[in-house]
A and B are shown apart, each in its own frame.
Chain A
Amino acid sequence: MRGRLKMPDETGRNIVRIDADMEEIVPRFLEIRAEDVNAILKALGEGDYETIRRRGHSMKGAGASYGFAAVTDIGSSIENAAKIGASEEIRRLINELSAYLERVEVIYE
């Protein structure tokens, strides 16, 4: 699954091309994923792996449905890491998600 995660281009951006009719709702999708980052970090501090698993599961289903395959991949990995309580792996994945959200640039076409 992780092989689908595209590396940033030479300018450090992650370009995602999405249909123009999605333009109105994609910003909210990205906000919700940013909320996931905060919620998962909080849950990690509390040892609440069920919340982390649930958030990862949601990201997995929603990501590619919107056109963000990388979010599906990271969400799937977070869900799996939460099932075994792999806190360091979760922290690494959250850093990866955070960096992705900062670099992502959407082109509507």
Chain B
Amino acid sequence: MNDKLKILIVEDDKSLLILYDMIIPDTVFEKQLVRDGVAAMEAYYSWHPDIILLDIFLPKMTGHTVLKEIREEMKDRSTAIIMSTSIDAEDDAIDCAKIGIQGYIVKPFDRKRLADMILDYYSQVDAERAEAARAQLSKRKEGRK
């Protein structure tokens, strides 16, 4: 069984997708990266991620609409959803919190803390798997020292 956490990363800026791909480690996460809300929904239905890192400001379908579809139409509460928002738009994330998210990150973000933050938020839906992933992440960090 593949014990990696499946994370769907939804971000329209190419350079941020490249950065996410680099800093979210392959040893802990299996990743899919998409650039708009419609592609996010397609990946959600076909790939069943454990975690979605979801930008709010997206082309084709906003992150807010993606969130509503998953939480309200699909009645899915077990997929962890972490919104990403810009520093001057935290109110948007608070609106999303009313629908149901595990947390949010503010861009620009601290890239050294991102994977830990994702696991912190994921622990709300599955503490045991989050802990196992965290142990894996620590091992990787130790290995790099």
Contacts and interface: CB of A to CB of B under 8 A. Distances in A.
A14 B87 CA distance: 25
Interface string A51-62: 000100110111
A62 B22 contact: no
Contacts of B111: 65
- Among A54, A57, A65, chain B packs the most CB atoms within 10 A around the CB of A65
B108 A25 contact: no
A62 B19 contact: yes
Chain B interface size, as a band, is 10 to 19
Nearest to B107: A61
B13 A25 contact: no
- Among B13, B14, B84, chain A packs the most CB atoms within 10 A around the CB of B13
Contacts of A60: 86-87, 107-108
Chain A interface size, as a band, is 20 to 34
B44 interface: no
Given A57-B86, A72-B108, A32 B15 contact: yes
Contact of A29 (B18, B59, B86, B88): B18
Contacts of A33: 15
Nearest to B12: A58
B18 A65 contact: no
Contacts, number: 52
Interface in B19-71: 19, 22, 57, 59
Contacts of A66: 15, 19
A72 B19 CA distance: 15
Interface string B89-126: 00000000000000000011101000000000000000
Q: Is the interface of A mostly helix, strand, loop or mixed?
A: helix
A28 B108 contact: no
Contacts of B57: 54, 57
Interface of B: 12-16, 18-19, 22, 57, 59, 84, 86-88, 107-109, 111
Interface of A: 22, 24-25, 28-29, 32-33, 54, 57-58, 60-66, 69, 72, 76
Given A29-B15, A60-B87, A64-B108, 11 more contacts: A22-B22, A25-B19, A29-B19, A32-B13, A32-B14, A32-B15, A58-B12, A58-B13, A58-B15, A61-B84, A62-B15
